[in-house]
Structure 1
Amino acid sequence: MDIPLISIIVPVYNAEKTLGRCVNSISSQTFQDWELLLIDDGSTDRSGKLCDEYATKDQRIKVFHKKNGGVSSARNIGLDHAKGEWITFIDSDDEIPKNTFTDDCKYFKEDLIIGAFNSIINGEIQCSRLDTGVYNKQELHRLFSHNINAPIFKVVWGKFFRNQLCKELLFDTNMMVGEDTLFVMQYLTKIKSCRIIGDIIYTYNLPKNFITKYKLDVQKSIYCLDKIYSSYRTLGERSKVFERTIFFDYKLFCQVNIYKNVDLWYKNAKIREIYHQIKHSFTIKYRILYTLMSSQHISNLVNMIKNRRINSIIL
């Protein structure tokens, strides 16, 4: 079989209700020079069987079954087997519009292609896009400094990655939240040019449990924050909005544990190091509060009050 122009990686886990919509949106593309890698991540419903059925109908579809290990491990298998010049990722509960794939990729010389995307939230469609154009090495810094906090830079879908540049990259299987963002940040450090197109190339269906599904313990949250922050710093650009966002997000993901013992967050050496580097991104009010919470006497008082509340509820 000839090497396809585009490799599509779709991790699949218990997606029998949405997988058909996803695969059909790919199969119905007018452009045909692609391969689809369906990675069944130990599904316990009919997803794995459905994947096999799709493969029997189209030789461009390849299926890989594995023990459940999470979306990162599934995508890594896809990266290992992708043969296309370009790689794109699609989640099994999402879809792509018609004519997302074209032969334009044959002629694009850039290292990364980013398109516009639609988000479906409570039945309403919202479109997100960046300013179109070609950004070469000198202009990448402007692109990053103005847009690094944009949603499209926090996900792996809605893009075309050069397979050759992905060879040394893997998704971090220890990242419980933010594995997409980390992969994108690491890839951005490798590119010399980027093309932003205005065409809508992805439809994202916001899950109903989006807010509640991200819960981490403090150590895992700190690990994720540190990995993303370190990768972000290698870009050589500073974004106060991005720094505030990731710091507050990962603090929120483990807020339940922090509530039980504030020292777990405020006394952690890595958090102190990151906070010291980005503290000017925060308001003066927050910096005062953070300093107070970092005080041993204040944290002991807060812990004592919260423990009394918990004990009173138990009693």
Structure 2
Amino acid sequence: MLSLIIPAYKVEKYLHVCLDRILAQSFSDYEILLVNDGSPDNSGQICDEYAARDSRVKVFHKENGGVSSARNLALEHVSGEWIFFIDSDDWIENGCLEQLQGYLNDSSLDLVQFNTSRTDLNYNIKTAYFPSLEAYSTANYFQPALWNYFFRASVIKDNGLRFSKELKYAEDFEFVLKYFAHVRAVQTTDLLVYNYVPADDSAMNRIPVQLFTQNNFSAVNGVIDYVAAKDVYKGFYVHNLYVFLKYILRTMPKFKINKEEFREAKSRYKGTFKKLVTFDSRFNKFLLLKAADISLSNTLTLIKLIWR
């Protein structure tokens, strides 16, 4: 069985499409765990309506505590061998679950990775994230979004994996990378499954920049601490954590951020990068070579902030 976990908060405009796309699937061996995270709109009522219509839909109502607490609640109640995290304002492709059924029956797999696309609010697909997901994965990259994978439930349960409720951003990044530390085998397919409706850049201006940087750097540090003593290939983590650090710096110009705030973010970066350098001495040369690249990125970002 596949357990689909869907937190719901202020999504009354989108929740019908999300759920209808799932219920229209020809594959039927699934349950939907809807968590109404204290939504002030009609999202909770919509959840109850779907539960009344289909016994596979289970609803949990809770006080607002954030997406991490909502997902954690659902994890306590899953019945399936596999878990699929879906955001309630996104949607999945028709017939996709049936096409992935063979992977769900493969007991050797701990993770199934598939393709996703960007869409708009009119549900028009703009572009696939990965022209070739298999080539992307072979290059030792990974996509940190939850909705890019099926997760084996026993791996989450046996290792006590949960989402950090302290993080409002990058909680999925931290969770996925911690999960990777326990994966034996991954199946990758270019099949388009998930359609993601991204927030526009103006939404970034409503996010407190200190909270954004603090959460992202905390997630990186959390991953380093978690995998440091584990018998895993550290090169995978060094490579992807470095890429994520660059993403944080390159995101800064999207904020309404002043030079002091950027310098504070840069200071957080330096502390995190230093920790990454001491993570595994075998990869120090790689990181020190990349440090020059990061420094150039810092300089270019600061120029953008000064002159915009």
Q: Same fold (TM over 0.5)?
A: yes
Task: Tell me if 1:55 matches 2:69.
Answer: no
Query: TM-score scaled by structure 1?
Result: 0.75
Of stretches 108-117 and 14-23 in structure 1, the one that deviates more from structure 2 is: 108-117
Of stretches 278-287 and 21-30 in structure 1, the one that deviates more from structure 2 is: 278-287
Instruction: Describe how 1:222-241 pairs up with structure 2 within 5 A.
Output: 222-230=217-225, 235-238=233-236
Task: Tell me if 1:212 matches 2:202.
Answer: no
1:68 to 64, 67, 71: 64
- Counterpart code for 2:128: C
Q: Using the alignment, how far apart are the partners of 1:285 and 1:269 within structure 2? A: 10
Residues 1:90 and 1:80: Cα distance change in structure 2 (over 3 Å) = same
1:280 to 277, 289, 296: 289
Task: Tell me if 1:77 matches 2:73.
Answer: yes
Of stretches 205-214 and 55-64 in structure 1, the one that deviates more from structure 2 is: 205-214
Instruction: Describe how 1:230-309 pairs up with structure 2 within 5 A.
Output: 230=225, 235-238=233-236, 242-251=240-249, 252=251, 256=257, 259-260=260-261, 262=263, 265-266=266-267, 270-271=271-272, 273-274=274-275, 276=277, 278-283=287-292, 286=295
Of stretches 268-277 and 7-16 in structure 1, the one that deviates more from structure 2 is: 268-277
SS of 1:203 mapped into structure 2:
strand
Question: What corresponds to 2:117 in structure 1?
Answer: 118
Residues 1:124 and 1:54: Cα distance change in structure 2 (over 3 Å) = closer
Contact 2:173 2:219 in 1 (8 A): no
Q: Using the alignment, how far apart are the partners of 2:214 and 2:199 within structure 1? A: 26
Instruction: Describe how 1:24-103 pairs up with structure 2 within 5 A.
Output: 24-102=20-98, 103=101
Q: Using the alignment, how far apart are the partners of 1:285 and 1:188 within structure 2? A: 26
1:203 to 195, 201, 213: 195
Residues 1:229 and 1:9: Cα distance change in structure 2 (over 3 Å) = same
Residues 1:114 and 1:179: Cα distance change in structure 2 (over 3 Å) = same
Alpha-carbon offset, residue 84 of structure 1: 0.3
Contact 1:225 1:250 in 2 (8 A): no
Deviation digits for residues 241-286 of structure 1 (CA, Å, limit 9, x no counterpart): 6444422444555983761584675388834623755443133682
Contact 2:245 2:269 in 1 (8 A): no
Alpha-carbon offset, residue 219 of structure 1: 4.3
SS of 2:193 mapped into structure 1:
strand
Contact 1:9 1:89 in 2 (8 A): yes
SS of 1:190 mapped into structure 2:
coil
Alpha-carbon offset, residue 183 of structure 1: 0.8
Question: What corresponds to 2:168 in structure 1?
Answer: 176
Deviation digits for residues 145-167 of structure 1 (CA, Å, limit 9, x no counterpart): x232x4xx211113111110011
Question: What corresponds to 1:166 in structure 2?
Answer: 156
- Counterpart code for 1:64: F
Q: Using the alignment, how far apart are the partners of 2:264 and 2:118 within structure 1? A: 38
Contact 2:162 2:175 in 1 (8 A): yes
How many positions carry a matched residue from both structures? 276
Q: Using the alignment, how far apart are the partners of 2:145 and 2:238 within structure 1? A: 20
Residues 1:188 and 1:214: Cα distance change in structure 2 (over 3 Å) = farther
SS of 2:96 mapped into structure 1:
coil
Contact 1:117 1:201 in 2 (8 A): yes
Alpha-carbon offset, residue 98 of structure 1: 1.1
Stretches of structure 1 that go unaligned for 5 or more consecutive residues are: 134-141, 294-305, 307-315
Contact 1:87 1:163 in 2 (8 A): yes
Deviation digits for residues 77-136 of structure 1 (CA, Å, limit 9, x no counterpart): 111111101110110010011112123212453111111112115855211344549xxx
Query: TM-score scaled by structure 2?
Result: 0.77
- Counterpart code for 2:275: I
Q: Using the alignment, how far apart are the partners of 1:276 and 1:40 within structure 2? A: 41
CA RMSD, aligned part only? 3.3
Question: What corresponds to 2:284 in structure 1?
Answer: none
